[in-house]
Structure 1
């Protein structure tokens, strides 16, 4: 794992630099030189988000994800989520370059009070897509603010990957962001350190390999990161969850990032 740590607020300006777009007006981040230099010259960017897979979980289970492990061996850094470490807030940060005070998003159905990557892509007469399961952030916040909304009835890794391929085949968006919610759901149910999550992670690893092999020849630069991590709960929650997030702990806030 790379030792350099950056802010989640740095992602938006990195994507804008690759796409030759201005950064969002309110961004508090800066382009990440390692990512920008590697993906320089590409005209399209895909951000793939295995939701909830923080550095804590990555360190536990990376040996079960050989494809992602190979990517991280070559290119890897750490991102710090903004607070609170929950999906709507950090997905909003990824596309705006600012924190909750700047973008105004606390829930997946919230309204942005600032400029986003979706606006910048649209202003340049280009197309964006947001992809995820119905009633989750990828659909409700990303999809419904993008030009192309890719919502799925089911949220398995397979379903999200298939929707990405379908949308790229039909629309060829210049920017897309997709939420793989099955990872986060499994962590909540079992706890991120439970061996029960390994089949979901192994399947997600397979989907990432398939998507990279599909998207890269089409000219996409691909950034794989998470929005937040998770920690094991000391006591099962009233909802029956064994994993949780939202705190400022390293388990919840530090996430791995790789790109190709």
Structure 2
């Protein structure tokens, strides 16, 4: 992300400071970029593996000199500011964060499809075009849900940027993708990870075994990209630090321990995430489907609860901005597409991707959200934790670097 990003407030784990013992910061300042960006992870990994023309913005090549195999694990929902909460149930995670961890910035919006493609391509969301959990298909009233995406629109046309796995494979690196079996061949998998041999794995045990096996096979340079979803799912359904979330954190810890123990001597493990999460109180929830002021002038609604994309009827943009600003007040910032693009929140956005962003972008502050109880799936308004906005708790994710 090239726009405003959150500072690493307080004393998060790693970086020589004590464990974070304050509430996650909810104020965003245009200051530093913590320890890098999610988009930097795979280019830096490819630099370690000797892939030509690969920048190393994270500075991994020196620390990982001699490494010929790299595993990259993305843990869905593991924000940097959730690591201290998970620590009592995840001692391996806590230890790695304190010794070999640093915060990096996922990108905006802080949501899974956007971050997966940002990681996979090594570019900002504006360039790759997967600009939200749901987006309007330009020229239609259709809303595309990226997690349910099959072949329409065509993934290679919708997301035209070559992936880092494609670059690695072209340079002679053996590339493998390990994710849930049902994700094989999906539009999102093709957008983020085309160029890797897909291996289906359900659950932490299978993910660990499959990643270690792929990492250990053969003698040449190897890159394995893995994904684990359960922490995010239990955060959404039950809340951060709920009983199910704690159990999921313990499962993540087991996965990390198995990966670390299974690393060959010439290998390294990089662990990161797509976003953090925030519990949203019932009293902080607006509902655009039950308030006619929020529907007036709006033709199509996309995005998600923390970041709404509003596509206005012709001539209604100013009225929509005024109405949403009046209703939401300090709970959100209501800005036009032009304002968001010009200030760099998505990185450079080519003309063909502009229509995927709403005419009006509503970014929730603090712990507020805007539900769509009738036009979205009923469960979407009944979750406990959400993400997508630009608080530090949502945008800041860990990068753990472990050498075999």
For the Cα contact (< 8 Å) 1:12–1:23, is it kept in 2? no
Q: Hey, what does 2:57 align to over in structure 1?
A: 31
Q: Distance in 1 between matches of 2:166 and 2:245?
A: 37
Moved more, 127-136 or 166-175: 166-175
Which structure would you say has the larger RCO, counting Cα contacts within 8 Å and 6 or more residues apart?
A: 1
Q: Hey, what does 1:22 align to over in structure 2?
A: 52
Q: Distance in 1 between matches of 2:280 and 2:248?
A: 20
Deviations 1:37-73 (A, max 9, x none): 2212211211011111102211222232111222222
Which of 206, 226, 235 in structure 2 is aligned with 1:159? 206
Query: Aligned-pair RMSD on alpha carbons?
Result: 2.6
Q: Hey, what does 1:2 align to over in structure 2?
A: 14
Q: Distance in 2 between matches of 1:258 and 1:144?
A: 21
Give the deviation of 1:159 after TM superposition: 2.8
Change (3 A) 1:220 1:30: closer
Q: Distance in 2 between matches of 1:85 and 1:206?
A: 26
**Secondary structure at the counterpart of residue 36 of structure 2:** strand
Which of 99, 104, 120 in structure 1 is aligned with 2:167? 120
For the Cα contact (< 8 Å) 1:49–1:227, is it kept in 2? yes
For the Cα contact (< 8 Å) 2:165–2:193, is it kept in 1? no
Q: TM-score, normalised by structure 2?
A: 0.57
Give the deviation of 1:144 after TM superposition: 5.8
Moved more, 191-200 or 201-210: 191-200
* In the alignment, structure 1 residue 62 sits paired with structure 2 residue 111: no
Q: Distance in 1 between matches of 2:73 and 2:80?
A: 16
Give the deviation of 1:188 after TM superposition: 1.0
**Secondary structure at the counterpart of residue 127 of structure 2:** helix
For the Cα contact (< 8 Å) 2:120–2:193, is it kept in 1? no
Change (3 A) 1:63 1:226: same
Q: Distance in 2 between matches of 1:149 and 1:30?
A: 26
Q: Distance in 2 between matches of 1:123 and 1:213?
A: 30
**Secondary structure at the counterpart of residue 5 of structure 1:** coil
Q: Hey, what does 1:215 align to over in structure 2?
A: 263
For the Cα contact (< 8 Å) 1:225–1:257, is it kept in 2? yes
Change (3 A) 1:72 1:256: same
Q: Which has the larger radius of gyration?
A: 2
Structure 1 unmatched runs, 5+: none
The number of residue pairs the alignment matches comes to 252
Structure 2 unmatched runs, 5+: 1-12, 16-33, 132-145, 150-154, 286-370, 372-377
Give the deviation of 1:101 after TM superposition: 1.4
Q: TM-score, normalised by structure 1?
A: 0.86
Moved more, 49-58 or 142-151: 142-151
Change (3 A) 1:136 1:182: farther
